[in-house]
Amino acid sequence: MKTVKHVVFTPLEATGMRGLTGDRGDPGEKGERGQPGECAVAPKSAFSVKLSQGQTSPLNVGDAVRFDTILINEQGDYNSETGRFTCKVPGVYYFAVHATVYRASLQFDLMKNGHAVASYFQFYGNWPKPASLSGGSLLHLIPGDQVWVQMALSEYNGFYSSTKTDSSFTGFLVYSDWKNSAVFA
């Protein structure tokens, strides 16, 4: 058994030497169960779509291009009927458009909530083979934000797709922006 030295002092006395450490006490009672924690699984959002062969692209300025062949869209954030991606997870996303240009020049905008965030143009000079036009942008989104590809000029509607070449639209979450979670900070 260890001996414990007790030092008693009054405010006028100097502090004495520290005593020996005592024996460990008995364990306490088990506490109540805590609140459920957050899931440590990172949020996901990704899609990749393309134009089907022979699809007629929209001819009117302001129309969303409806990429109708889904390659991946596991979270269902892209709607092939409207041609729009709708954000569910806040954060930074990367969007890319790869267009095959054939039989007409092409001009389109990458749109976020009705505002052009990037514009792309490819002149078609009567070449015997298709040309390509690609671009991408990083965008910060919050839930409910929408992103889509929109025709900029009706006479520049040269989106093309065939068995040998595609026009595609892809987007994915780079990192989430969950503010109230240590897991996703």
pLDDT of residue 50: 93
pLDDT of residue 146: 98
Residue 13 within a domain? no
Residue 56 within a domain? yes
156 contacts 57 by C-beta, under 8 angstroms: no
Residue 15 within a domain? no
Would you state the structure tokens that stand for residue 43, as one six-digit string? 């949020």
159 contacts 57 by C-beta, under 8 angstroms: yes
Per DSSP, the residues of 12-28 read: TSPP-------------
Residue 127 within a domain? yes
For the full predicted model, state whether its pTM sits above 0.75. no
Residue 169 within a domain? yes
Range of the domain at 101: 46-176
CATH of the domain at 78: 2.60.120.40
Residue 153 within a domain? yes
pLDDT of residue 60: 74
How many independent structural domains does the chain possess? 1
The tens-digit pLDDT sequence of the chain (185 residues) is 556 565 555 556 677 888 888 888 888 888 888 887 766 678 899 999 999 876 655 567 888 999 999 999 999 999 999 999 999 999 999 999 998 888 888 889 999 999 999 999 988 887 788 888 899 999 999 999 999 999 887 777 777 788 888 899 999 999 998 765 555 54
146 contacts 171 by C-beta, under 8 angstroms: no
CA–CA gap between residue 51 and residue 161 (Å, rounded): 6
Vertex 124, ends 118 and 130: CA angle to 5°?
95
Residue 76 within a domain? yes
pLDDT of residue 13: 63
pLDDT of residue 115: 96
Residue 140 within a domain? yes
Q: Residue 69: how many CB atoms within 10 A of its CB?
A: 15
CA–CA gap between residue 29 and residue 89 (Å, rounded): 41
